[in-house]
A and B are shown apart, each in its own frame.
Chain A
Amino acid sequence: MPHEETVYDALDHAHGGEGHWAFGTGFDEPLAGVDTTVPDGVDPADLGAYCLMLGDDALVLAQRLTQWITAAPELEEEVAIGNTALDLLGQARLLLARAGSVGVLGRSRETATASIPDEDALAYFRDADEFRSTGLVAAQNGDFGQTVVRLLVASTVRLAVFARLRESRDPVLAAIAAKGVNELAYHRDHAARWVLRLGDGTEESHRRAQAGADAVWPLLADVLTATDVERRLVAAGVAVDPADVREEVHDVLTTVLERATLRVPAWPADTPPRGRAGEHGPELAALLETLQGLARRHPAATW
């Protein structure tokens, strides 16, 4: 039988009977088979809240990057942005599932039906004031220059935190961080290469990259300030104090911007955490409306 015929057969008859293509139907919990016991001396509410901070950052940035799909400068970039968004989405799913596994679901369960898994209850059925993402990831994309500068800054911070989180006393968080480090190193590298090309490309691209940096830097104001939750978890050996990564982040960003012939904007003065405390601007509410609208209109549906 020629190859072609066997392909049609596989499409048509080979899966006949009850199994008819419906393989993979049903939902695999991202943490299925993982021991989700909370380590001694750790407050599950704190652990869950911390997972929401890291998970929401990933979810919101994945959503922002996805806005570029079908609008990117090159097909290669469609693929690269899609990849980055997929990695972040994967991190978000694991972290939200971890929060759910320790019982941190906020008000989401008031509206999400029982058939909706924890990760989706948290992603789709929390209001903006329950999100713990920072303003750095929620801000609008701007042009491609601002987008890659934001990706550089966000992935530099996240990579520095995840590298340290590999030593977390929570083995689930440590494993999520270990997986994430490789992904984030790629994201940072990809973004840095674009910042170099744009900064040291044409006059226009230099101007735009500089404007992007000037727009993104102020968003760092509350990103490296620890919340009370983080402080308690740092003491318990579970979390990373964001203040500890400040020097590394500063050095990496300065190196990249200088090589890109860009002026390094002034580092903003520290402010108390806003996004981590659930205070967000209208841009997050708008982003969530798009993200959540369909799922909320059909709370009893299975997808």
Chain B
Amino acid sequence: MSAPTLDRPTDEAALQQRFDATIAADRRIEPRDWMPDGYRKTLVRQIAQHAHSEIIGMQPEGDWLLAAPSLRRKAILLAKVQDEAGHGMYLYSAAETLGADRADLTDKLIEQKQKYSSIFNYPTLTYADVGVIGWLVDGAAICNQVPLCRSSYGPYARAMIRICKEESFHQRQGYELLMTMMGGTEEQRAMVQDAVDRWWWPSLMMFGPPDDDSPNSAQSMAWGIKRHSNDELRQRYVDMSVPQAQFLGVTLPDPDLHWDEETGHWRFGPIDWAEFKQVVSGNGPANAERIRRRRAARDDNAWVTEAATAYARKHAGAVTEGAA
């Protein structure tokens, strides 16, 4: 928070008023602006969860890096996983503009005090999963994230613009892999269908609980942190994905899926929220492994970080002495 200056109001009510006016005018809040504690906390929670999702999200696809079936696919996947590390970095930086600290947020992730997207708790069983994650999981992420490019918090909104561009590229690469596999052998087509069967419902859950059961949504909408409701975005995703599935030649695993002439939407069957709650609360197929690996990266390499810090300290000292 910036120090009050002469031309700035200093009492809380006036600050609040100025903040509300900025939000109402659809302008951006910047790191040095006054903001309510709840706004700051909500943003840190949301941005950290998003950053954690990028970093944990490297794992399910990363599991295929060593075994990618062609050198071209290996290069594409490696570049994608590298982009995800980059996204994590921008997002942690955005959280740091709010006073958070990357190492501390990482600790909270490892201690499971902060969450990441539950979708990454499902395992990647075949190479088709790499394509389906690109198409469906990145597709759902884009639906969620495009509105965040207009988030009321400036650094987050700006980070999201770049992230969305890259995610959109990843989504197309995923779809392109699936198109290629569908044009391959019978076995490859079966792999694609199987992957779609496993990822479709979890991808619908990525939009969060239904609107009537989403405790934080209303306040986030009022603050301009969130722009559309969970159910709105989910519907948009389904409407987008059905024609893509048809073009690809796969069946979405939902017997209730049908076109509703009247509303112009694809209507889908009930989501198994019990499964969602299981996975969110840490009982998904891969939760323990995801956290174990993140913890190992931190703990096994702690000596490296300590060395880099010690070296920087020694040599910063040397420069100062030299300059003196």
State the A residues within 8 Å of B (CB).
2-4, 7-8, 10-12, 20-27, 59, 63, 66-67, 69-76, 78-79, 82-83, 85-86, 89-90, 92-93, 96, 116-117, 119-120, 123-124, 143-145, 196-198, 200-202, 204-205, 208, 290-291, 293-295, 298, 300-303
Contacts and interface: CB of A to CB of B under 8 A. Distances in A.
A78 B58 contact: yes
A262 B142 CA distance: 49
A26 B244 CA distance: 19
Nearest to B73: A303
Given A4-B149, A200-B311, 16 more contacts: A3-B150, A7-B164, A8-B146, A10-B168, A69-B58, A70-B297, A73-B297, A96-B71, A124-B70, A198-B304, A205-B307, A298-B69, A298-B188, A301-B187, A303-B127, A303-B180
Contacts of B92: 75
Contact of A73 (B176, B183, B301, B312): B301
B308 A201 contact: yes
B207 to A, nearest CB: 15
Interface residues of B, number: 69
Interface in B151-194: 164, 168, 171-173, 175-177, 179-181, 183-185, 187-188
A202 B168 CA distance: 43
Contacts of A63: 66
B74 interface: yes
Contact of B82 (A22, A83, A124, A302): A83
B185 A298 contact: yes
B240 A69 contact: no
22 contacts: A2-B150, A7-B146, A7-B149, A11-B168, A23-B172, A24-B172, A25-B179, A69-B58, A70-B58, A75-B85, A79-B86, A93-B71, A120-B70, A201-B310, A201-B311, A290-B67, A291-B66, A295-B70, A301-B69, A301-B187, A303-B177, A303-B180
Contacts of A86: 75, 78-79, 82
Contacts of B225: none
A22 B179 contact: yes
Contacts of B180: 25-26, 302-303
B75 A89 contact: yes
Contacts of A196: 311
A121 B24 CA distance: 61
Nearest to A6: B146
Contacts of A143: 300
Nearest to A8: B146
Contacts of A96: 71
Interface in B24-62: 55, 58-59, 62
A201 B306 contact: yes
Contacts of A7: 146, 149, 164, 168
B185 to A, nearest CB: 5
Nearest to A117: B70
Interface string B106-118: 0000000000000
Contacts of A302: 180-181, 183-185, 188
The 4 closest A-B pairs by CB, nearest first: A201-B307, A205-B307, A73-B301, A82-B82
B307 A119 contact: no
Which of A59, A73, A300 counts the most chain B CB atoms within 10 A?
A73
B89 A76 contact: yes
